[in-house]
């Protein structure tokens, strides 16, 4: 198809594929269904104001349409589902994280501005000295409501929406007999609502103003109705919220995400705004960055690197040991060795944590009774790191064993034979043949393992929550914290609850660090590839 198009050249318009009208119609039908759902989905998204999701969805839909309707792009038709999925599942979360890092999305700034205005405008207050009433609700056959009110002095009133409240004696309609609660069973065509009828009507009764102007009465709860007034009003021209009770004016502040009075008082709740690079500025100027950051960064690299090296070394050793077909029972032993891989990581970590517990742990108490000493694996800054590496080794070696076993099989025997003829000893054969050839195939997996461990929150937090704490640090930080667990700390144990936007900013920075480290490592693997080519 591609060649076809190229051969025809771009200036010559394509003939419609008349040989396959049915296929064309089917495709059009399928596209129509996709589009219909997409437009509906977009409608829902836009109605809720979720722009960051609506825009990429719209772009993808346009792309899908162009590709499917333009004959020149026919070759791309089979790519487009994959491309769409990549855009939605990979690119979008990254874009959304970057977007979030430029907002103030955190505790206190969860809602959109419109949601905040709606919520504030819904708040009511009872003016001082405003009357309160006991009430009963009524409904006529048209579904309109009426309210029978009894004030504190026992005076009775009849109120309808947007009509003056009448004293019960002045009501022209005939009033039914009084029921056990002391309320008339009906007023004209209006019948009293009780039990389930009343409870099911509460949603419709909510916010209905019975009466006119300032006298209007609203239901407050099942026992009381009162002349409630809206507490806040939004003035779009000044972009301000006016407090009707206090008279204070709060102006919208797009920098801080609050309505703020002239005295500097914030009106809660706050809303989401774009704050530019402030999260990044805060990261690079905060004591959190100056203080333990370098130390944590170095430990993160050491942890990731040592985890890869130790797991790979042990995995390879075991793989080579069990690669020998003469070894009896190797299948069974190999199966048993894989068990740690089949356990969920966090379970393994917690089991180890229990066994290492200095007071009641099996390993600790046994070692105490035999040697009188046990490394403080959970409390000492140095031994905690050793403990984490050991647990991670236990968790990670089966994977390395599996991939090494496979890769070992692929190294041709004749190279070893040739080496033996040349008089190479076992170490030389391993160092000059096995390892370089192995690294060619497992090198990318080792990098993947490094990146995985770089962000291995589960092991760090499950083992000891990054503890013990670092003394003298300007922000809370632990000796075994890695970057990602430290991010968790500063984002979610910070000054005022959860700071998602700040976490996003730190994540973007970590992403950049990991990307750079990975690029450097790929350089190294390229060297290994050259080795393999020269063999």
Touching other proteins, residues 144-183 (CB under 8 A): none
Torsion of CA 446, 448, 453, 459, to 10 degrees: -100
Choose, by CB under 8 A, the member of 108, 131, 176, 340 that binds other proteins. Answer: 108
Residue number, 416 or 492, with CB nearest to other proteins: 492
Least distance from other proteins to the Cβ atom of residue 223, Å: 5
Which is nearest to 469 in space by CA: 380, 375, 357, 356?
Answer: 380
Least distance from other proteins to the Cβ atom of residue 120, Å: 9
Cβ partners under 8 Å of residue 79, min gap 6: none
Structure tokens at 132: 């309160």
Choose, by CB under 8 A, the member of 5, 58, 98, 110 that binds other proteins. Answer: 110
- In the shown chain, the binding pattern of residues 259 to 288 toward other proteins, with x for contact by CB under 8 A and - for none, equals ---------xxx-----------x---xx-
Residue number, 259 or 450, with CB nearest to other proteins: 259
Q: In which element (H, E) is residue 232 found? A: strand 232-235
Choose, by CB under 8 A, the member of 358, 365, 432, 521 that binds other proteins. Answer: 358
Q: In which element (H, E) is residue 29 found? A: helix 21-47
Structure tokens at 120: 């504030």
Choose, by CB under 8 A, the member of 41, 289, 297, 416 that binds other proteins. Answer: 41
Q: Of 290-349, which residues contact other proteins (CB under 8 A)? A: none
Write the secondary structure of 112-128 as one string of H (helix), E (strand) and C (coil): CHHHHHHHHHCCEECCC
Least distance from other proteins to the Cβ atom of residue 216, Å: 16
DSSP E strands, 16-120:
none
- In the shown chain, the binding pattern of residues 393 to 412 toward other proteins, with x for contact by CB under 8 A and - for none, equals --------------------
Residue number, 39 or 327, with CB nearest to other proteins: 39
Least distance from other proteins to the Cβ atom of residue 298, Å: 20
Residue number, 39 or 75, with CB nearest to other proteins: 39
Q: Of 229-258, which residues contact other proteins (CB under 8 A)? A: none
DSSP characters for 94-161? HHHHHHHTTB--STT--B-HHHHHHHHHT-EE--TT--EEEEEEEE-TTS-EEEEEEETT--EEEE-B
Least distance from other proteins to the Cβ atom of residue 206, Å: 5
153, 160 in Cβ contact below 8 A? no
296, 481 in Cβ contact below 8 A? yes
- In the shown chain, the binding pattern of residues 426 to 445 toward other proteins, with x for contact by CB under 8 A and - for none, equals --------------------
CB atoms within 10 A of CB 465: 14
Residue 30 to residue 39: CA distance in whole angstroms: 14
Tell me which stretch binds other proteins (CB under 8 A): 39-47, 86-94, 394-402, 510-518.
Answer: 39-47
First to last CA, the chain: 41
Which is nearest to 68 in space by CA: 36, 106, 29?
Answer: 29
How many residues in the shown chain lie near other proteins by CB under 8 A? 85
Choose, by CB under 8 A, the member of 60, 159, 205, 296 that binds other proteins. Answer: 205
Write the secondary structure of 267-288 as one string of H (helix), E (strand) and C (coil): ECCCECCECCCHHHHHHHHCHH
Tell me which stretch binds other proteins (CB under 8 A): 116-124, 147-155, 166-174, 417-425.
Answer: 116-124
501, 105 in Cβ contact below 8 A? yes
Q: Of 44-103, which residues contact other proteins (CB under 8 A)? A: 44-45, 47-48, 50, 53, 65, 69-71
Q: Of 365-384, which residues contact other proteins (CB under 8 A)? A: 376, 378-379
Residue number, 26 or 516, with CB nearest to other proteins: 26
Choose, by CB under 8 A, the member of 75, 90, 123, 431 that binds other proteins. Answer: 123
- In the shown chain, the binding pattern of residues 480 to 499 toward other proteins, with x for contact by CB under 8 A and - for none, equals ---------x--xxxxxxxx
155, 225 in Cβ contact below 8 A? no
Least distance from other proteins to the Cβ atom of residue 222, Å: 5
Least distance from other proteins to the Cβ atom of residue 269, Å: 3
Q: What is the DSSP letter of 251?
A: E
The answer to whether 223 contacts other proteins (rule: CB under 8 A) is yes
Choose, by CB under 8 A, the member of 81, 93, 122, 164 that binds other proteins. Answer: 122
Cβ partners under 8 Å of residue 223, min gap 6: 134
Least distance from other proteins to the Cβ atom of residue 151, Å: 15
Give backbone dihedrals phi and psi of 243, rounded to 5 degrees, phi first.
Answer: -80, 110
Least distance from other proteins to the Cβ atom of residue 197, Å: 8
The answer to whether 474 contacts other proteins (rule: CB under 8 A) is yes
The answer to whether 355 contacts other proteins (rule: CB under 8 A) is no
Cis peptide before 91 (omega within 30 of 0): no
Choose, by CB under 8 A, the member of 32, 75, 350, 418 that binds other proteins. Answer: 32
Structure tokens at 398: 């089966």
Residue 451 to residue 320: CA distance in whole angstroms: 26
Beta bridge partners of 469: 478
């Amino acid at each position: 198809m591609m060649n076809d198009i190229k051969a025809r050249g771009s200036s010559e318009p394509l003939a419609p594929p008349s040989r396959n009208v049915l296929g064309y119609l089917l495709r059009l039908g399928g596209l129509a269904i996709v589009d219909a759902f997409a437009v509906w989905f977009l409608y829902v998204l836009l109605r809720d104001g979720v722009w960051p999701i609506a825009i990429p969805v719209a772009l993808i839909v346009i792309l899908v349409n162009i590709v499917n309707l333009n004959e020149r792009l026919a070759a791309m038709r089979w790519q487009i589902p994959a491309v769409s999925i990549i855009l939605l599942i990979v690119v979008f979360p990254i874009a959304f994280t970057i977007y979030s890092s430029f907002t103030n999305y955190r505790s206190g700034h969860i809602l959109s501005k419109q949601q905040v205005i709606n919520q504030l405008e819904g708040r009511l207050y009872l003016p001082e000295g405003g009357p309160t009433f006991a009430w009963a609700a009524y409904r006529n056959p048209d579904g309109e409501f009426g309210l029978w009110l009894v004030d504190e002095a026992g005076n009775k009133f009849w109120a309808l929406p947007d009509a003056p409240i009448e004293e019960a004696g002045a009501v022209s309609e005939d009033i039914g007999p009084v029921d056990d609660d002391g309320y008339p069973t009906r007023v004209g065509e209006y019948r009293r609502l009780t039990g389930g009828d009343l409870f099911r009507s509460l949603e419709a009764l909510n916010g209905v103003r019975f009466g006119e102007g300032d006298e209007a009465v609203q239901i407050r709860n099942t026992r009381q109705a009162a002349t409630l007034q809206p507490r806040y009003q939004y003035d779009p021209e000044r972009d301000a919220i006016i407090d009707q009770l206090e008279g204070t004016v709060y102006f919208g502040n797009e920098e801080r995400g609050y309505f703020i009075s002239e005295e500097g008082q914030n009106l809660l709740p706050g809303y989401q705004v774009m704050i530019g690079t402030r999260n990044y500025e805060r990261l690079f100027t905060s004591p959190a960055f100056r203080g333990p950051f370098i130390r944590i960064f170095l430990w993160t690299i050491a942890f990731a690197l040592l985890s890869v090296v130790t797991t790979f070394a042990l995995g390879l050793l075991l793989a080579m040991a069990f690669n020998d077909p003469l070894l009896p029972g190797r299948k069974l032993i190999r199966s048993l060795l894989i068990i740690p891989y089949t356990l969920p990581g966090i379970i393994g970590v917690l089991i180890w944590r229990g066994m290492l517990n200095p007071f009641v742990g099996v390993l600790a108490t046994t070692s105490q009774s035999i040697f009188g000493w046990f490394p403080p694996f959970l409390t000492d800054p140095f031994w905690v790191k050793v403990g984490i590496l050991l647990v991670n080794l236990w968790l990670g070696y089966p994977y390395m064993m599996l991939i090494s076993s496979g890769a070992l099989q692929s190294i041709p025997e004749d190279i070893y034979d040739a080496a033996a003829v040349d008089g190479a000893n076992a170490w030389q054969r391993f160092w000059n043949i096995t390892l370089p050839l192995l690294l060619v195939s497992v090198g990318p997996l080792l990098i993947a393992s490094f990146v995985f461990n770089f962000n291995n929150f589960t092991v760090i937090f499950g083992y000891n929550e990054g503890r013990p704490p670092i003394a003298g640090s300007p922000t809370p930080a632990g000796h075994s914290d890695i970057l990602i667990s430290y991010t968790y700390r500063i984002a979610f144990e910070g000054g005022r609850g959860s700071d998602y936007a700040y976490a996003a900013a730190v994540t973007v920075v970590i992403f950049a660090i990991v990307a750079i480290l990975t690029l450097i490592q790929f350089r190294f693997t390229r060297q290994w590839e050259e080795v393999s080519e020269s063999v």
